[in-house]
Amino acid sequence: MQVHGHGIIVGYNARPALNKSDFDASQSNSPVETFQTSENAKNLKELGFNSYITLGEDFDPNDKEIPKTPMEFLVYPVDEISTIYQEYDDRIYNRFIKEAKRIFEKYNDNGECNPDNKYLYFETSDCDSKINISRAHGGYICGAEGKWDKNNCITAYCDDGYYLNDNRTECIKDPCDNIKLNEIAINEEKETEYIIEPNNTYIFTIEKENYLYSFYSELEPFIYVMNNDHILEAAKNGTKFKKGEKIYINYYVNISENSHISIKTESDEPKNKEDNDEGKGLPTSIIILIIIGSIILLIIIIMIIICVISKKKKVSNNAIEEKAQQLNPISE
């Protein structure tokens, strides 16, 4: 037998408790998004602010009001407040054990409970027959005098594969229980096709190196990928994926008949080779032509220089005659 239900608190508080209404056991459980790619969010961050915008709300199935109030705005009073008012430390480990034992004995051995919490229950198989709901289970609720009422049971949960309706009157087959997850590794080097069946969701993982894979679907949006914020976002037909990336197909299980996807493959090596050539400079053939041209040009320049020098060194006959006369002895 066990005590169940939200509201039993074992821990410490920052100040001595005045009464239980001073405390709230609930938390904000709404999904939020930071929208870091938004220009407004970037401007706010530069000013020292981080934006968090609520995307959805969760509601308590026990809330019968219309309209219902989001759970983050509801107050859930606690059932117990411990007498420990300092942060946990191994030196006071036994104090936590002692306090937990006190609460356990109060609710289980002594049969005491919090009459203000109508969803706290003492689990027992004795209630299964009294509930008289197929696949349902529960336990005694707390009576007005603060004791477990063995004549009053509450339906709390259902067998695995079933969920309890909001009115706690029926266990309904969980449709998610029939959904099959298919994880497929992609290694093919040619175009392939897959049949996508209802009640099936698929995760394709690219494992082949130096290849790009383009996914195409009959339906849109149907192809999803996980973005940097770990949120699924739709990808367009023809989006290319590489090794290590995961692609989610029919993730929301929203088709009623078979569909098809095709995956086209292309090698990534030529592109890489071209990129490498660009990174290194000109292609080898062009470099060879440039070298040969440079050599020919150098030879021509050298020949021109030799011709110029030779022309400058050429001496006329008259100059030779004058030089020769200077060498003859002066006649007396």
Whether the per-residue pLDDT at 240 is higher than 90: the answer is yes
Q: CA dist 104 to 4, 46, 99, 111, 137, Å? A: 11, 51, 9, 10, 22
In this prediction, residue 265 has a pLDDT band, given cuts at 50, 70 and 90, of: very high
pLDDT in tens, 147-179: 999 999 999 999 998 999 988 899 999 888 889
In terms of average pLDDT, the best of 22-31, 56-65, 273-282 is 56-65
How confident is the model at residue 157, as a pLDDT? 93
Q: Compute the residue count for the chain.
A: 332
Q: Which amino acid is at 251?
A: Y
Contact 121, 154 (CB under 8 A): yes
Whether the per-residue pLDDT at 18 is higher than 60: the answer is no
The CA distance from 122 to 134, in Å, is: 20
Q: What angle do CA 227, 232, 237 make, to 5 degrees?
A: 90
Q: Which helix (H) or strand (E) holds 95?
A: helix 93-104
Whether the per-residue pLDDT at 145 is higher than 70: the answer is yes
Q: What angle do CA 196, 175, 261 make, to 5 degrees?
A: 10
pLDDT in tens, 178-200: 899 999 999 988 899 999 999 99
Q: Is 129 helix (H, G, I), strand (E, B) or coil?
A: helix
Q: Which helix (H) or strand (E) holds 204?
A: strand 200-206
pLDDT in tens, 307-329: 776 665 555 556 656 655 665 55
How confident is the model at residue 14, as a pLDDT? 37
Mean of all residue pLDDT scores within the chain = 82
- pLDDT over 70 percentage in the chain: 81
Mean pLDDT of 81-109: 90
Whether the per-residue pLDDT at 1 is higher than 50: the answer is no
Whether the per-residue pLDDT at 233 is higher than 80: the answer is yes
From 75-89, 148-162, 232-246, 301-315, the region with the lowest mean pLDDT: 301-315
Residue by residue, DSSP assigns 248-311 as: EESTT---SS-EEEEEEEEESHHHHHHHHHHHH-S-HHHHHHHHHHHHHHHHHHHHHHHHHHHH
Q: Measure CA 183 to chain center.
A: 17
pTM value > 0.85? no
How confident is the model at residue 11, as a pLDDT? 37
From 19-23, 88-92, 275-279, the region with the lowest mean pLDDT: 275-279
User: Hey, where are the domains in the chain?
Assistant: 2-26+75-173, 179-272
How confident is the model at residue 327, as a pLDDT? 57
Which has more pLDDT, 7 or 91? 91
Q: What sections of 132-177 are H helices per DSSP?
A: none
CATH number, span 179-272: 2.60.120.810
